[in-house]
Amino acid sequence: MKNTPLILSIIALAAVVVLGLFAIFGNSCKSSKSSSDGEGVQAVAEKGAVVYFNLDRILKEYDMANDLRSVVETKVQGISDEVNRRGNRLQSDVNTFQDKVNKGLLTSSVAQIQGENLQKQQNDFNQFANQKQQEINEEQQVMMNQIGDAIKTFIDTYNKEKQYAMIIATQGDVLPQPVVTGDASLDITDDLLTSLNEEYVKTKGKTNNNDKPAKDNKNGKDNK
């Protein structure tokens, strides 16, 4: 069938896109070398100072970010498996049809009808794969929005105590931007990470406790 190479290429492309995005998620989870061994320079900036933090490290070592990424990766794996299942099923139908055509087991009219049905399946699969790719993009965007909002909200509260004149986020390894280099005492990354994770543990603990069913004080039964 003339459309066979096109179907194959679309199946392959859809699988690569989904798995490629999954790989991106996976790579983003690899942590950089932790400074939790105490060897890092501690921030000693005074009130009113302009300080900065390494956003790449925060995104990699912030426990909330890692937990959210794990959830998204699970969803992406499920989407990838679903796309692969449908793609493999379509490929099997194409192979069966092509084999029957090659052996002359179908009349021209039947072959035309089945070929049109496969074309419709191909179009449906294309739409399905595009939809799933959009779902992945949305999952990733929502995840990043949640992480960004949590960090920004925490920093606002954090700076009420620290009272720095400005807190700058810097990114990049080869040539970090916007802070290319600076006094190490103005780098608050370690302190910020510690505070973020401590706050997340408290918040996570409260959430877990709220999810537990209430117990009767005397007999330990769930309150109905």
CA 2 to chain centre: 38
DSSP 40: S
Q: What is the mean pLDDT of the segment spanning 104-127? A: 96
pLDDT of residue 11: 40
pLDDT of residue 212: 57
pLDDT of residue 192: 96
Q: Please determine, for residue 216, whether its predicted confidence score (pLDDT) is greater than 70.
A: no
* CA gap 113, 121 in Å, rounded: 12
Q: What three-state secondary structure class fits 50?
A: strand
| Least confident stretch, 58-62, 108-112, 129-133, 171-175 | 171-175
Nearest to 132 by CA among 97, 82, 98, 91: 82
Are the C-beta atoms of 17 and 129 separated by less than 8 Å? yes
pLDDT tens, residue by residue, 10-46: 344 344 333 443 443 444 444 344 434 444 445 468 9
pLDDT tens, residue by residue, 186-213: 999 999 999 999 999 998 877 666 655 5
Encoded tokens for 57: 């490290």
Backbone phi and psi for residue 76, each to the nearest 5 degrees, phi listed first: -65, -40
pLDDT tens, residue by residue, 36-60: 444 444 546 899 999 999 999 999 9
Q: Which residues of 57-82 are buried (b: 16+ CB within 10 A; e: fewer)?
A: bbbbbbebbeebbeebbebbeebbee
pLDDT tens, residue by residue, 140-184: 999 999 999 999 999 999 999 999 999 999 999 889 999 999 999
* CA gap 56, 59 in Å, rounded: 5
